[in-house]
Amino acid sequence: MKPQFSFHPYLTHSVLRRRSFTREMCVRVILNAAKVVRQDDGRFRFYGRLREFPGRWIRVVTLEDKTTVLNIFVDRDFHP
């Protein structure tokens, strides 16, 4: 069963307006993550790739519940 995702107002009102990402892209990275890391503050980082950004690693940050998406961006510092 696929989890239900929600999207933080910061993501919808700020991030997605400024960057070339969609909600669907956030979900794809989470569901197909190459690596998942729990941050010290309890949030989770999901690292994955998207065909729309070839050769780049994308980071999606969720709240502690792993289903509320907070942020998405190209992570230039991630090297698996």
Position 3 scores a pLDDT of: 81
Residue 59 domain flag = yes
Residue 79 domain flag = no
Range 25-34 average pLDDT: 97
Residue 24 domain flag = yes
Q: What percent of the chain has pLDDT over 70?
A: 99
Number of domains into which the chain is organized: 1
Residue 37 domain flag = yes
Position 55 scores a pLDDT of: 94
Residue 80 domain flag = no
Residue 1 domain flag = no
Q: What pairing do the DSSP bridges indicate for beta strands 68-74 and 6-7?
A: parallel
Tens digit of each residue's pLDDT (9 = 90 or more) over 36-63: 999 999 999 999 999 999 999 999 999 9
Q: Which residues contact 15 (CB under 8 A, 6 or more apart)?
A: 21, 71, 72, 73
The band of 1, judged by pLDDT with boundaries at 50, 70 and 90, is low
Range of the domain at 51: 6-74
Residue 41 domain flag = yes
